[in-house]
Amino acid sequence: MAVTDTPVAHVECFDCPIRHRAVCARCETDELEALEAIKYYRTFDAGQTVIWSGDRMDFVGSVMEGIATLSQTMEDGRTQMVGLLLPSDFVGRPGRESAAYDVTATTQLTMCCFRRKPFEELMIRTPHIGQRLLEMTLDELDAAREWMLLLGRKTAREKIASLLAIIARRDATLKLGPTRGRIVFDLPLTREAMADYLGLTLETVSRQISALKRDGVIVLEGKRHVTVPDFDRLLGETGDDSDGGMPA
Q: Could you give the CA distance from residue 10 to residue 94 in angstroms, rounded to a whole number?
A: 24
Give yes or no for a contact between 194 and 159, defined as CB atoms under 8 angstroms apart.
Answer: no
Residue type, 94: P
Query: What's residue 45's pLDDT?
Result: 94
Mean pLDDT of 71-91: 83
pLDDT value at residue 202: 94
pLDDT of residue 102: 92
Per the CB < 8 A criterion, the answer to whether 107 and 66 are in contact is: yes
State the pLDDT at residue 237: 94
More confident residue, 126 or 201: 201
Who's near 233: CB < 8 A, 6+ residues apart?
217
Higher-confidence residue: 234 or 20? 234
Nearest in space to 163 (alpha carbons), one of 140, 196, 114: 196
137-165 pLDDT tens trace: 888 787 777 767 767 778 999 999 999 99
Q: What is the average pLDDT across 77-93?
A: 84
Q: What is the pLDDT of residue 82?
A: 80
Contact 105, 44 (CB under 8 A): yes
pLDDT at 242 (0 to 100): 44
Give the pLDDT confidence of 165-194 residue by residue, as tens digits: 988 988 888 776 767 788 999 888 889 888
pLDDT in tens, 38-75: 899 999 999 899 999 999 999 999 999 888 988 888 77
Q: Residue 136's pLDDT is what?
A: 84
Query: pLDDT at residue 14 above 90?
Result: no
Angle at 244 between CA 149 and CA 71, to 5 degrees: 40
Rounded CA separation 204/200 (Å): 6
Q: What number is the average pLDDT over the span 110-132?
A: 89
**If DSSP codes are grouped into helix, strand and coil, which group holds residue 233?**
helix
Residues 203-222: tens digit of each pLDDT: 999 999 999 999 999 999 98
| CA atoms of 227 and 221, how far apart (whole Å) | 8
Summarised one tens digit per residue, pLDDT across range 88-112 is 899 988 888 899 899 999 889 999 9
